[in-house]
């Protein structure tokens, strides 16, 4: 269940980050979806079919196996999308 779909930057999403100014700029042209469960996040991710999906959850591989629609999937703390410009990551 989607609890909140934000199309405008909301400070509560980034105000505690040391990079809050950068985060505010990034969210200016983006959006955030707040859901109440991993299952709901997986469903929303598949519905949106975004280009890059980063998984930072406890059982990331199980979640990865449940996703169907994405361009690139990045699993775990060491697999950030930004690395793809220099490193190829395989699952």
For the ranges 9-18, 44-53, 78-87, the lowest mean pLDDT is seen at 78-87
Q: What is the pLDDT of residue 81?
A: 63
Q: What is the pLDDT of residue 24?
A: 75
Tens digit of each residue's pLDDT (9 = 90 or more) over 32-69: 777 888 898 899 889 988 888 888 888 889 999 999 99
Q: Are 29 and 22 in contact (CB under 8 A)?
A: no
Q: What is the pTM of this model?
A: 0.64
């Amino acid at each position: 269940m989607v609890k909140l779909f934000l199309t405008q930057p909301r400070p509560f999403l980034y105000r505690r980050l040391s990079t809050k100014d950068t985060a505010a700029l990034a969210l200016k042209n983006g959006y955030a979806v707040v859901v109440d469960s991993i299952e709901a996040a997986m469903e929303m991710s598949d519905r949106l079919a975004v280009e890059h999906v980063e998984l930072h959850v406890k059982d990331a591989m199980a979640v990865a196996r449940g996703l169907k629609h994405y361009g690139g999937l990045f699993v775990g703390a060491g697999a950030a999308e930004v690395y793809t410009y220099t490193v190829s990551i395989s699952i």
